[in-house]
Amino acid sequence: MDAAIQVPTRQFSSDEFERMGDLGILPKCAELIYGEVQDKTGRGTPHTWTYEQYLALSHAGILAEDERTELLDGKIVSMTPVGHRHVYIVDNLVALLGPWAPGRAILRVQSPVRFNTVDAPQPDVTLLRLHPDRYRSREAGPWDALLMVEVADSSVVRDREIKGPMYARAAVPEFWLVDVNRGSVVVHMNPVAGEYTSVREYSHRDAWNSPALDGRSVQVEEVLGPE
């Protein structure tokens, strides 16, 4: 993760930290400094959370079921609250992709995708390749993704500078960044050597052909609503 980009990480109370120790979630060398879990052996460096530890915090109820967090580069990042425009656009995306998906893909909304041991981003919308048991037997990974969509207002820098490059490195074939404030959709395609080689921004009255949707033409208004 780019150290220059500040992201709000989850802060923990002393009671939560004590419970982590009692449950064996953390190594004995960990300590709590101003709400941040740090590793003593690393001279007070922030603890790098693994996906297994992240799940353990959830199972223990330390991370609440309805708490909006995601695991990015070993950091438990607090996701920004969503406003009504964000919710409206996610609803539009579901209305767009939901009728197309049956028999072609699995549509997930605001669900985590495990990338590796320290990354489990939670896109606003994901289209996954069909799977015999709908991923009941295993977690979905980025190699299963056809499309990932982030709807960004206050989180636009994080989504563009952290999550976008993460999706490119994982070779997610298509990534849409919906910029609520600019009123645009930035479409990323063709990841090569960890970078998207095709990045185009579309505004109202524009359209593009989406490979993830078998070449279907997508109108910006279908995502953003009327101008």
188-207: average pLDDT: 97
pLDDT of residue 40: 79
Question: What is the helix (H) or strand (E) element at residue 192, kind and residue range?
Answer: strand 184-192
Beta strand pairing call for 125-129 and 36-39: unpaired
Where residue 166 falls among pLDDT bands split at 50, 70, 90?
A: very high
Q: How far apart are CA 123 and CA 66, in angstroms?
A: 16
Model confidence pLDDT, tens digit, residues 117-163: 999 999 999 999 999 999 999 999 999 999 999 999 888 888 999 99
pLDDT at 157: 87
| pTM (2 d.p.) | 0.92
- Give the torsion through C-alpha atoms of 184, 178, 128, 2, to 10 deg: 130
If we measure between CA atoms, which residue out of 198, 188, 205, 185 comes closest to residue 92?
185
The pLDDT value given to residue 3:
54
The Cα–Cα gap between 192 and 173 comes to 10
State yes or no: pLDDT of 188 exceeds 80: yes
Please work out, in degrees rounded to the nearest 5, the angle formed at the alpha carbon of residue 168 by the alpha carbons of 149 and 133.
Answer: 60
Under 8 Å between Cβ of 199 and 176: no
User: 27-66: per-residue pLDDT in tens?
Assistant: 888 999 999 999 876 566 899 999 999 999 999 999 998 8
**Could you please report the per-residue DSSP string of 39-52?**
EGGGTSEEP---HH
Question: What average pLDDT does the chain have?
Answer: 94
Report in angstroms the alpha-carbon separations of 2 from 7, 100, 164, 192, 197. 10, 36, 12, 20, 21
Check pLDDT > 90 for residue 14: yes
Closest CA to 217 of 225, 208, 226: 208
The single residue listed with the structure tokens 């999706």 is 167
Distance, CA of 31 to CA of 209 (rounded, Å)? 51
Which distant-in-sequence residues (6+ apart) come within 8 Å of 192 by Cβ? none
Q: Where does the pLDDT of residue 82 fall: very low under 50, low under 70, confident under 90, or very high at 90 and above?
A: confident
Task: Quote the tokens at residue 187.
Answer: 């479409």
Helices (H), the chain: 14-23, 51-59, 84-97, 156-158, 164-169, 220-224
pLDDT band of 1, cuts 50, 70, 90: low
Domains annotated for the chain, with CATH where assigned, are 14-78 (no CATH), 84-224 (3.90.1570.10)
pLDDT of 227 > 90? The answer is no
